[in-house]
Chains A and B, each alone.
Chain A
Amino acid sequence: MMIEINKLAKSYNGTRALRGINLRVEQGEIFGLLGPNGAGKTTTIRLLTGQLKPDSGQARIFGRDVFKDREKILKNLGVVPEETNLYERLTILQNLKFFCRLYQVDYARISEYLEMVGLLQEQDRQVKDLSQGMKQKVLLIRPLLHDPEILFLDEPTSGLDPGSASVIHRILQDLNRQGMTVLLTSHNMEEVDKLCHRVAFLNQGQLVEQGIPRDLKLQHSRQQIRVVFQEQEEINEDLLELQGKESAEFIAGLIAEGRLKAIHSQEPTLADIFVEITGRELD
């Protein structure tokens, strides 16, 4: 078990940000914490990285207590924060070299990672002159330089264009294939659906559902399909039960007559499931 949280609770000025959540993340997983703004996602990451102390509950990483063994744990963690907290007046290379010096690792991996995200040619540009997408890539590289076992990402593609977001997704998948455990927070259900092996829904400080995205979608499915077909001069559509002889005969008839245009699964998205469970939108 890489990450283990038991009854973790945290309040700010009387407002309960986390209400005793339980969570397990296995080695080699990409785990997504999904929820709207203010759900407690960032608080969870801050607690797991020892930046905050909980009111009650336990958090263990690599089997060690986060709040007692923080120094030892941090050496094997990487964190991509939500804020773009790079040194803006320094160049990309100066930023990355600074963190290599702090971790006392050599500079060898800098070029490798810059090449991977397509920023090798830009390494001598000041960070303040970069686009948001470029900055986000630098933010992603920075915690990888010391080769951590677990990577935490807080809203890694928030505010990015689809192209940049896609590059970040590809890199995360590559890192995961190499064995890195990833815990990311997001309010983007497509991102979580695409990347994560398992997800948990966080709402008002409580974990309201967790599981494998496919299983959750099957579990919350209405067991219906939408069939689009030709009827004389018009295109019509109909909702059918997913199982049953009647649906099968209707579709078979459309196929035999050459009138079937499309069949759409009515599988809910993770956002639909979130709304169904909590009654709230994911922003």
Chain B
Amino acid sequence: MPNFARITAVFLKEIQDIRKNPNILVMYALPVLLTLLWNNIMPGMPPGMALSFGLLFLVVMVGMYVPSMMIAEEKEKKTIEVLLLSPATPAEVIIGKGLLTLLSIILVAIFLVLFTGHQLQGLLTILLATVLTSVFAIFVGMIVGLLAKNQMSTGVVGMPVYLLLLIVPQVAEMAPGAVQIMAMFLPTYHYLLILDYVLTASASPVRILSNLGFIAFSSFIVFLLLLYIYKIKGLKN
């Protein structure tokens, strides 16, 4: 059973570390800046689109990049060795890192929703969808971190996945056919649909629930994949 005190120790360490890590801070700043840009400089954008794209960017880039970099850096700098000589288990290390990523995404997401002036009534649904999609993205980021040898190679390993999850859902409506079919299997596509429904009040709760269900199911599948890859590769490689 994971120990809460040790998970908290990893969580606090990561907070202290992230505050001084410009590579990761940039990842948090980008979705905020992009949302501001789309919201203010491109007046022709449909309502809610700037926020949708900002949130998608936040969930995919921060959700995947941050845990992958955290894990890869621990391996590259060999801090993982001393960590695993302590009473901390690999599960506690991973949960601590994932928890920080998730909470930070939630905070930035709330900031984005409030900052772009959207009403609070859809906030809970947006947050629920954001949490579920972030969990999916964090698991994928952890897989990237386990597979990558160092921080540099997280880009090589992760970039195709990042692009797939980020771009395909955005172009799906414009490119029917194979792209749209592919998009339907991506949780980020369902996330964008939920955001669209909530921000334009254009869908019933049942429709939203089915999208949420698909994202939750995807998260479960990718969690199983994470366990499998961890079993093969381990945290130290």
Contact = CB atoms under 8 A, between A and B. Distances in A.
Interface of A: 49, 51, 71, 74-75, 77, 79, 81, 83, 85-90, 94, 98-99, 101-104, 126, 142
Interface string B87-121: 11000000000000000000000000000000000
In this complex, the member of A74, A99, A101 whose beta carbon has the largest number of chain B beta carbons within 10 angstroms is A101
Given A85-B78, A90-B13, A51 B6 contact: no
Nearest to A75: B87
What are the 5 closest A-B residue pairs judged by CB atoms, nearest first? Answer: A101-B9, A89-B20, A85-B78, A102-B86, A98-B13
Nearest to B8: A101
A87 B17 contact: yes
Interface of B: 5-6, 8-10, 12-13, 16-17, 20-21, 77-79, 81-88
Contact of B86 (A88, A103, A126): A103
A102 B10 CA distance: 8
Nearest to A78: B85
A56 B13 CA distance: 38
B85 A88 contact: no
B79 A85 contact: yes
A90 B81 CA distance: 17
B88 to A, nearest CB: 5
Contact of B79 (A51, A71, A87, A103): A87
Nearest to B19: A89
Contact of B6 (A77, A79, A94, A102): A102
B85 A86 contact: no
A74 B84 CA distance: 10
Contacts of B77: 85, 88
Contact of A101 (B5, B20, B21, B81): B5
A79 B82 contact: yes
A104 B13 contact: no
Contacts of A49: 85
Contacts of A51: 81, 84-85
A85 B74 CA distance: 9
Given A88-B77, A90-B16, A98 B9 contact: yes
A71 B21 CA distance: 32
Given A81-B78, A85-B77, A103 B87 contact: yes
Given A88-B77, A90-B16, A79 B9 contact: no
5 contacts: A49-B85, A74-B87, A81-B82, A85-B79, A101-B9
B5 A79 contact: no
B9 to A, nearest CB: 3
A97 B205 CA distance: 47
B183 to A, nearest CB: 39
A71 B89 CA distance: 10
Given A98-B13, A101-B5, A85 B82 contact: yes
A145 B85 CA distance: 14
A74 B9 CA distance: 18
A102 B88 contact: yes
B17 A89 contact: yes
A102 B20 CA distance: 22
Nearest to B22: A89
Contacts of B85: 49, 51, 74, 77, 79
Given A49-B85, A90-B17, A101 B78 contact: no
Contacts of B84: 51
B6 A86 contact: no
Contacts of B5: 101, 104
B16 A94 contact: yes
A54 B5 CA distance: 33
Nearest to B85: A79
A52 to B, nearest CB: 11
In this complex, the member of B17, B78, B81, B82 whose beta carbon has the largest number of chain A beta carbons within 10 angstroms is B82
A101 B6 contact: yes
A88 B86 CA distance: 19
Contacts of A103: 86-87
A89 B21 contact: yes
A247 to B, nearest CB: 55
Contacts of B82: 79, 81, 85, 142
Nearest to B236: A51
A212 B219 CA distance: 60
